[in-house]
Structures are given as structure tokens and as C-alpha cells.
Amino acid sequence: MIRRLPALLFARLAALIAAASLCIQPAAAQSVLRDAETEALFRDASAPIFAAAGFNPKAIDLVLLNDGSINAFVAGGQAIYIHSGLIGAADSVNELQGVIAHELGHITGGHVVRFSEGMKPATGITVLSLLLGGLAAAAGSPDAALGVFMAGQQAALGKFLSFSRTQESSADAASVQFLTKAGISGRGSVEFFKKLQNLEFRYGYSSRGNPDAEFYSTHPMTADRLTTLQDAFEKDPAWNTPPPAELQARFLRVKAKLYGYLAEPQDTLRAYPEYLTDVPARYARAYAFHKEAFVDKALDETKALIASDPKNPYFKELEGQILLESGRPQEALEPLREATALTGNEPLIATTFGHALIATEDKANFAEAEKVLRTSVARDKENPFTWYQLGVIYEAKGDIPRARLASAEQQLMNMQLGEAVRSAEAAEAALPKGTPDWLRAQDIAMSARATMERQKKSR
């Protein structure tokens, strides 16, 4: 894809990549993947489990990490981290639910994680958009794109965490309680752990350093753990209940999509060869072709997907994304507008739509872009790329105070604290006193300064 970019953009992108590699430790790099469809699946698959545990489903974040090893973990706080490799290893949504229920057991048990060997922070956040960095660079500021990569610093590397065996048994017992109460079969949970056990056998119990069985180094397994778990689940009336067909179909789509997005295109084409015409196969191949810059083939697969399910917003999102990232923003507008409407303004999709509107470089589209992006930040304030684009719009309108305010939001999120203070103060000085924006500028400056103070003290 890079070779399709104009020369100037290529130079900016190269500078961006060089700068990024200075900030990110490549070996430890573990980025957060954001994707509207995956996040919706996570929410719907986990909501009954969270409710059974007495949680407001919105109180716990499920975070997808770009890591091919099979693992899931909690690292303090109300978040469950799931490796992309775990999705790849699971065959049903019920297996994913089993893992979520187990991790939730660690949260409700208040289990304190042990940091085994030199914990490093995870770095980076990637939206499932192949050229996000390049696009931000195209929009004028490599720094903004860098910010996008740096936003996931709070996540911890799962492989450095571990629980005690007592904590494992207690999380297992809790998972039985939650799934039973939610009327969800524990069969997936048992099957998933059995699968991991087989990997463990194959590799001769050397789970350390064996990426396939990483789950066992964070969650130690004892011989009787599986038996206890299976005995408990088999008694449950839901044992033989399969997951809802619709949820399972969504799981298989997400699994194929992540595979297509993350794997080498030739691997995707091997796993999902062209004679397969089912939805997951086409979905995975659409990403593989897009990554290879075979735009027509990627669009053909996407059009077949849309024909099979014309109201699927994520297929439309993909069509728009392929067009946008192939330098055809004008054509991307219609599918992205539809995807945004079909999902009731899902913030990640709305941001891509806003970006396509800006990328047309047609000022007539900027008012709609502003509206869409503002709706997006109202629901998801934590996407620095959205703030960055709002800044572009304000700047284009000559609304410099609000452009500074948007920069301040983005910089605060990226922990560029000094810059955040400067942008916020510039905004505050120029905005009408007492307005919500003026107050927000004050808040940002204050919060950035307080964080800097804390950092100074901890040094």
C-alpha cells in the first residue's frame, strides 16, 4: 500500500515509522487493536456473564491486544485483555465466553497479580485500518499518527503476570457460578482448556517460552483443575445448549477478519483458499487482498459479502475503508455514511467516515465531517485520532481556539503533557470566558500539570 502513496506522503510516512521505532520497544511491542465489530461481539458475548456476576456490563472493558500467543489476562482494574491469538485458537464463541468468565473470576476475587519478570508496559494502539498512520500523516501531522500508536500505554504485558494455584481454582469456581447463572454452557470453557492442555503435552510442559501455551504461564494449570471444572459444568442444565447461532456466526466472522488483517496474505490465502465462498473465507481474503494492494479483488470479495447481507454495517465499513485507503475517498463516502447510520454512529466507524470526508479535500464536506466527528468524541473521548481530525476541521474553518483545544485533548491522551498545557492555555486565552470549551481547556491544563507533578515526585 505504501508504494501507492504520493512521494511527499511516502517521505512523511517513512519519517513517521523511523520516529515510531525510537519510541516503541519492538520486542515488547503489544498494541491495542480497536475494531467496532470485534468490540460489539465482545460486549454481546460477555454482557450476560457480567450481569450474572452483578456488574454493569459497561463497567468492564474487554481489550483486544495484537499478540499471536494464546492468552488472556487481567492486570488490575476493570479490564480484561484478550490476545488476538486466543481468538484464533478458539473455535466457538462459547470458548471465548469460558475465558471471559474465568478472567472475571480473577476480578471479582480481587486477585492481586504478581509481576514475574520485569514487567514492561504495552505500547501502542492500532485501529483496524491498514494505513492509519499514513493517513494521519497525509492529513498533515506525523505526530498525530504517532500519538495513535502510543495510546495504549496502560495495558500490561500478560506474559509477565501470574496467579497462584489457589487463585486459579477460585477463578474457575467463580466462572462456573457466572456461566450457570447466565444459562451459558461451560462446555466451551472445558474444551478450550483441554485444547491448551494438548498443546502443553505436545511441547512437554515447557509453557515458558512456548507462545502457544502462554495462557498456562499466567494461569497455572493443575492436573485436577480440568476434572473439577468439567464435573461442575456437566451438572449444569445448560451443558448441552449450543451458543445462539447468530452470535456464533459473528464470532466466526470476527475470527476470520482478524486473521486476514493480522496474518501474512499468503497464509490467509492458504487458510481461506479462493474456492471457499462462505462469509468468513471471503472476509479474511478481502483483508489479504487489500494488504497486497489488489484493490479490485478486495472489492470483489467485499461486494460478494454485501450481496449476502446488504444491511451488514461492517461489510460497508470495509468497502469504505478499502476505497479510502486506496486513495478514493469520494467513493468511500457512501458506504461509510451507511455504515455509520446502520450502527447508530458507532464512534470508530464515524471517525473513519469523518476522515474520508476530510480526505476528499472538498470544503463542502467539512460541515458534515465536523458533525460526525463531534458525535464520535461525545461517545468515545479516548480516540486521539478523532480529536486530531476535529482539530484539522477547526483549523480549516479558521476556528483556531477550538483547534488548539482539540490538540490539547489529543496531547493529554498521548501523555504529551507539556504540549497539552501549552495548547490548552492558548485555547483558554482565546475562548469566550465561562463557556464549556473554556472550562474544558482549564481542566486539561490543570490535569496535565497535576500529572507532571506526580511524575516529578515519583522520580
x/- contact string, 213-252, with Zn ion (CB under 5 A)? ------x---------------------------------
Query: Least Å distance between CB 352 and Zn ion?
Result: 35
Query: Least Å distance between CB 79 and Zn ion?
Result: 15
Nearer to Zn ion, 222 or 435 (CB): 222
Contact 197, 219 (CB under 8 A): no
Count interface residues toward Zn ion (CB under 5 A).
Answer: 3
Tell me which residue has its CB nearest to Zn ion.
219
The residue among 383, 343, 340, 328 whose CA lies nearest residue 354 is 340
Query: Least Å distance between CB 447 and Zn ion?
Result: 35
83 makes contact with Zn ion (CB under 5 A): no
Contact 141, 388 (CB under 8 A): yes
Q: Residue 366 carries which side chain, given as an amino acid letter?
A: F
Grid cell digits, residue 427? 485555547
Query: Least Å distance between CB 156 and Zn ion?
Result: 15
- Torsion angle (degrees, nearest 10) of CA 90, 53, 159, 454: 140
Contact 342, 310 (CB under 8 A): no
Nearer to Zn ion, 219 or 257 (CB): 219
DSSP state of 242: P
Stretch that binds Zn ion, among 59-67, 86-94, 165-173, 259-267 (CB under 5 A): 165-173
CA distance 156 to 3: 34
Longest CA span, the chain: 68
Cβ neighbours of residue 2 closer than 8 Å, sequence gap 6 or more: 10, 13, 131, 134
Q: Residue 64 carries which side chain, given as an amino acid letter?
A: L
Nearer to Zn ion, 168 or 338 (CB): 168
Nearer to Zn ion, 168 or 200 (CB): 168
Query: Least Å distance between CB 167 and Zn ion?
Result: 7
Nearer to Zn ion, 199 or 390 (CB): 199
Bridge-partner residues for 33, per DSSP?
A: 64, 126
Rule CB under 5 A: choose which of 171, 262, 373, 392 binds Zn ion.
Answer: 171
Query: Least Å distance between CB 219 and Zn ion?
Result: 3
Q: Is 171 exposed, middle or buried (0-12, 13-18, 19+ CB in 10 A)?
A: buried
Nearer to Zn ion, 170 or 360 (CB): 170
Strand, coil or helix: 34: strand
Give the binding site for Zn ion (CB under 5 A). 168, 171, 219
